[in-house]
Amino acid sequence: MQEVYCKKPWSFNQTLNHPAIRPCYHCGMDFSQITNDLFIGTHPDAADYDRLRDLGVRLVINMRFARGPYPDPHPEAIQLLWLRSIDSPFIAISLQKLVEGTHRALETIRNGGKVYTHCVKGRHRSVAMGAAILIAQGHTPEAAMQLIKKQRPISDPDMFYIRSRIFQFARRWQVVNKELSGKA
């Protein structure tokens, strides 16, 4: 896995002191590389897209409800997918949105790109989306959550309403795969 450093100098946050977390104070992002193809972090600004592009990111999945993605003015614009979701135990993340994001992520990865998924703090909604992508790539829900926690210690996939959604997605993904296999 490549090291994830901003090209601009920055001061490493010693309180996190974890090699997978690369806060980029110039870019405004705090993100972690989970696998070679998947990053999870905070909301990027339009100025951050060049940094993401340098990392090979071709799809940004925004899991925030109220703040949509900034347009990418670059001639080779990064694909932006806004899956409006609320971080609340009272309103579950839509399984359909997790499935949609996962399909788009897998397509991007198959085409050689990488995926950046984010919410406000990169702790809950983006983690659920990241876990869904990992599950679709063959990880068990437990292994996906463990890998994300290892690579992004600030993440909280064990929050009861996030954990339950990850497991519900895994069951739904099995159904989706069976339906797709039946059509082939």
Please report, for the domain that includes residue 146, its CATH number: 3.90.190.10
- Tell me what percent of the chain is helix, strand and coil, each rounded to the nearest 5: 40, 15, 45
In a domain, 182, yes or no: no
| Angstrom distance (rounded) from CA 62 to CA 74 | 18
The alpha carbon of residue 86 and the mean position of all alpha carbons in its chain are separated, in whole angstroms, by 15
In a domain, 3, yes or no: no
In a domain, 12, yes or no: no
Digit-coded pLDDT (tens) for 29-65: 799 999 999 999 999 988 899 999 999 999 999 999 9
Q: With cut-offs at 50, 70 and 90, classify the pLDDT of residue 72.
A: confident
Domain span at 170: 21-177
Number of structural domains, the chain?
1
Digit-coded pLDDT (tens) for 132-169: 999 999 999 999 999 999 999 999 999 999 999 999 99
